Structure 1
């Protein structure tokens, strides 16, 4: 009987002029190319590659990702020259919202509230000096403990000239009148941070700016090695909205001097309307921040095979991934 059933099935396929492979359901993306972009900051490339590989599993051909600065991407996606990226930072990128609204939209989230920026200090110094904010660096004993070049100021690993964070850090130092107390190091960020980590491992105190996701918080873990400190405790000084529920900060809420951001996909609306499977996939996917931290750290140490790292992450999270893909396929029916 089983032999008869197989023969009947084969005959049915041949009768309609199809091969058994062609008789199988096509993926929703068959024959469609996705023009994908990624940010110029390499800390965002891992999750970009994960999304790219998931789109390919739905049958889409992914062109790129093309590396673009934020202004160029938002202009391109609103005009349809690019279809999407997963490197949106909001509210930081709100300045591009009017451009986005002309033909694109935010859909889903890689990580809600996961993009933090601010200042970190080693826990030993916090315990020894009772450091709560940048303003504590006006105290002579604190300045001295963090002065690694002998100029009488506390050394802060900051950002290179031209970076958005460099502008904001400079504004903060002026607002808090800290120019005579803190020396912002503006050399190459990775090299400066590597030096700070080595100093920490030698028992010295460290003060540094960072953002997340970033490899730095995998090397010096908030809550274990370091703590976020506040930019100021003076409520009369206007600052961005504080972060709430951040257990790795010395205060809750924590006035970090930067607003917490959502990392989100941004996609062309017309493209999404034609490809409901893509819309659903973007709505479903999320990536734990510790996984991004770990990849960023490995990349910083020289493992730059991002395609292999993304494939390994997908395999490790296969059950969750299968659910996302099934939801996307169902949305296309």
Structure 2
């Protein structure tokens, strides 16, 4: 009898130990890696916060963007989070997985940060010469400021060869009329950044396409040339989205869409900011509501992401160090805003 009681007691203790171990099991969270520095920084910040504050077991996996969103939609735990979703560049994924009436299997944080694109000049050029708008580049006396080789045309970096944005800049040049006064260049990005550094050091005029967030906006004072307000995309591909307007100001076709893409395209307004989100799968929300709540409450800023890129790209800091230093300096924000009601 005593032996039976002892055996039962041992079994009970074993069951309690197993139950305790199950209760303490960490939630596994898989972050899908994207291949640009801004995303890598955001991924690492989320990784460290979930590990430190929410006792999560975080890992990462690299794949194409399409595969990452498909995996989140499946909800099998192979990918739980994508940290830097440029939503306006992903119409198919938005229609299939995100917006009301879709599968609604991917959930965004409440407050996105904004990514912008446009033509920029140094602030000292705007201040000294009064260059404010993109249409100013169609004025010969303004274009002459950016003429570095004496051929009578100013230079403007349109982007690298093969970029969609390079074609959009070409359309803008036609639409605003500075195709007659400015020469569009397609140098490698690294070469253009070296030219920017030299121009800034000697306070010379320079004009170029770029986007935020990026490290140059943390390193230099730059001004985006003004354009009329965006009133809508006009092409078939935009139908069904909130930014479609048959009479809008933004008509753009890719060279692969039609042979007369340049003649048929017309851009006479700014490109609207792209809303950039942290996304997680609906399945993760069911598996660990607290981690999901944290992910919906994350609030990033374009300035912070630009500074993280600067620290990695220019200062050579490892992404893990950049994330830890920012977290250590922003604990009140993380604990009182990102983790409000979670811990």
In the superposition, the TM-score normalised over structure 2's length comes to: 0.73
Alpha-carbon distance between aligned partners in 1 of 2:281 and 2:184, rounded to the nearest angstrom? 40
Report matched runs for 1:1-333 at 5 Å.
30-57=25-52, 58-66=54-62, 68-80=63-75, 81-100=78-97, 101-102=102-103, 104-109=105-110, 111-112=112-113, 114-221=114-221, 226-231=222-227, 238-239=249-250, 257-323=270-336, 324-325=338-339, 327-329=341-343
Alpha-carbon distance between aligned partners in 2 of 1:214 and 1:49, rounded to the nearest angstrom? 17
Deviation sequence 1:139-184 (CA, Å, 0-9, x none): 2221211022334322223322333322322332233343332233
**Counterpart secondary structure, 1:119:** strand
Alpha-carbon distance between aligned partners in 2 of 1:177 and 1:293, rounded to the nearest angstrom? 32
Number of residue pairs aligned between Structure 1 and Structure 2: 292
Alpha-carbon distance between aligned partners in 1 of 2:206 and 2:27, rounded to the nearest angstrom? 50
Deviation sequence 1:278-324 (CA, Å, 0-9, x none): 21111222233332222211222141400111011111112332334
Cα distance change on mapping 1:194 and 1:231 into 2, 3 Å: farther
Deviation sequence 1:223-247 (CA, Å, 0-9, x none): xxx322124589998149xxxxxxx
Aligned Cα RMSD in Å? 3.3
Q: State the 1:86 CA deviation.
A: 1.4
**Counterpart secondary structure, 2:299:** coil
In the superposition, the TM-score normalised over structure 1's length comes to: 0.75
Q: State the 1:215 CA deviation.
A: 0.4
Q: State the 1:133 CA deviation.
A: 1.9
Alpha-carbon distance between aligned partners in 1 of 2:230 and 2:328, rounded to the nearest angstrom? 48
Alpha-carbon distance between aligned partners in 2 of 1:234 and 1:17, rounded to the nearest angstrom? 66
The gaps in structure 2 that reach 5 residues or longer are 1-11, 232-246, 252-267
Tell me if structure 1 keeps the 8 A contact 2:158–2:186: yes
Alpha-carbon distance between aligned partners in 2 of 1:98 and 1:53, rounded to the nearest angstrom? 31
Alpha-carbon distance between aligned partners in 1 of 2:29 and 2:314, rounded to the nearest angstrom? 31
Deviation sequence 1:205-235 (CA, Å, 0-9, x none): 12122211110111212xxxx3221245899
Cα distance change on mapping 1:214 and 1:129 into 2, 3 Å: same
Cα distance change on mapping 1:38 and 1:153 into 2, 3 Å: farther
